[in-house]
Amino acid sequence: MKPFTYERVSTAAAAAAAAAANPGAKFIAGGTNLLDLMKLEIEAPTHLIDVNATGLDKIEPTAEGGLRIGAMVRNTDLAADVRVRRDYPVLSRALLAGASGQLRNKATTSGNLLQRTRCPYFYDTNMPCNKRAPGSGCGAMDGISRQLAVIGGSDACIATHPGDMPVAMRVLDAVVETVDAAGKTRSIPMADFHTLPGDTPEVETVLKQGEFITAVTLPAPVGGRQIYHKVRDRASYAFALVSVAAIVQPDGTGRVAFGGLAHKPWRVEEAETEMPNGARAVTARALADADPTGDNAYKLSLAERTLALVLAEAKE
């Protein structure tokens, strides 16, 4: 690990101010991803701002009938919250499909949104990677890419977002709440929060330097059968090859987002009009622009079949 200085802050405003004052700083909450990357010197902040004591660890009802989830709410607590289990089960299921019990006890809501890719070329510092070292090239394109993106990638990067929770947040139309050093707040819909790699794959979200996530807000519950189905290389504790977060209403209409396919949770609202016509009709539209490699073309049929399974389960 590269040396860094360390401070604890007790308010969101102080966190944003500390980050604005120090361009080499990173926030640390659970730290389960950041410290992993710091040990490999893939992340090398010069200053860490510990935001665990900011008091943002509550889940509260909103005036609109939804829930406001504090940024520091741990994955375990969010998945187990009785309101989330009852009204947003796709979110509980997505959280429980991720990581291990130990990690979920530590990992936070905001940190989960900011997880970095598990692309093996991002992790291997002997290899080129435009995300880790902009301009160095991409080792994955002609390398082993079975885990990587099939849609929304660029000539610079075909990494995927590794998260499960964000896929459920996307299908639930969640909104990310932030504050900056000037005290200005911003509400960023999940649809806009994560970015595609383009020619700046090192940029993964629309957050500005020093902008601090305070909460994620869920709209009022929409009901329906809510299912999260994750396909992975082993039964537990592995990242998704493909995952499907779906909300299916009794008349067959609904919403669907995919994980494991792109640099962000993948949802194409126009494709959802095909939900009553079955999985093939939905994925034909949602994944129409796919550009897979030879290694990962299997993800297209896997996504369709996983959605077919989910739609069948929703009818039970």
Partner 1 sequence: MTAAPRPHPVPTGTSVRLTVNGQPADLVLDPRVTLLDALREHLQLTGSKKGCDHGQCGACTVMVNGRRINSCLSLAVMHDGDEVTTIEGIGTPDALDPMQEAFVSHDGFQCGYCTPGQICSAKAVLEEIRQGIPSHVTRDLEHVSFSDDELRERMSGNSCRCGAYANILAAIREVEERA
Positions 225 through 264 that interact with partner 1 (CB under 8 A): 235-237
Cα Rg of the chain (Å, integer): 19
Residue 235's CB is within 10 A of a number of other CB atoms, namely: 6
Sole window of 57-65, 87-95, 176-184, 216-224 interacting with partner 1 (rule: CB under 8 A): 87-95
Residue 99 near partner 1 by CB under 8 A? yes
What minimum distance in Å lies between the beta carbon of 291 and partner 1?
31
Cβ within 8 Å of residue 296, ≥6 positions away:
145, 146, 147, 148, 149, 150
Decide: 308 and 278 in contact? Cβ < 8 Å: yes
Residue 106 near partner 1 by CB under 8 A? yes
What minimum distance in Å lies between the beta carbon of 273 and partner 1?
29
Sole window of 16-24, 109-117, 129-137, 243-251 interacting with partner 1 (rule: CB under 8 A): 16-24
Cβ within 8 Å of residue 199, ≥6 positions away:
154, 155, 156
Positions 146 through 205 that interact with partner 1 (CB under 8 A): none
What minimum distance in Å lies between the beta carbon of 82 and partner 1?
8
Sole window of 48-56, 113-121, 194-202, 294-302 interacting with partner 1 (rule: CB under 8 A): 48-56
Residue 125 near partner 1 by CB under 8 A? no
Site string for partner 1, 196-215 (x = CB under 8 A): -------------x------
Cβ within 8 Å of residue 235, ≥6 positions away:
none
Decide: 88 and 67 in contact? Cβ < 8 Å: yes
What minimum distance in Å lies between the beta carbon of 290 and partner 1?
28
Task: Give the residue with the Cβ less far from partner 1, 106 or 305.
Answer: 106
Binder of partner 1 out of 66, 70, 72, 89 (CB under 8 A): 89
Residue 223 near partner 1 by CB under 8 A? no
Residue 316 near partner 1 by CB under 8 A? no
Residue 52's CB is within 10 A of a number of other CB atoms, namely: 18
Sole window of 55-63, 85-93, 125-133, 149-157 interacting with partner 1 (rule: CB under 8 A): 85-93
Task: Give the residue with the Cβ less far from partner 1, 13 or 44.
Answer: 44
Task: Give the residue with the Cβ less far from partner 1, 158 or 171.
Answer: 171
Residue 83 near partner 1 by CB under 8 A? no
Positions 56 through 75 that interact with partner 1 (CB under 8 A): none
Rounded Cα gap, residues 215 and 11, in angstroms: 13
The 10 Å CB-count burial string (b at 16+, else e) for 259-287 is bbbbbbbbbbeebbebbeeebeebbeebb
Residue 39 near partner 1 by CB under 8 A? yes
Q: Which residues bind partner 1 (CB under 8 A)?
A: 1-6, 8, 22-24, 28, 31-32, 35-36, 39, 44, 46-48, 50, 52, 76, 79-80, 82, 85-86, 89, 92-93, 96-97, 99-103, 105-106, 209, 235-237
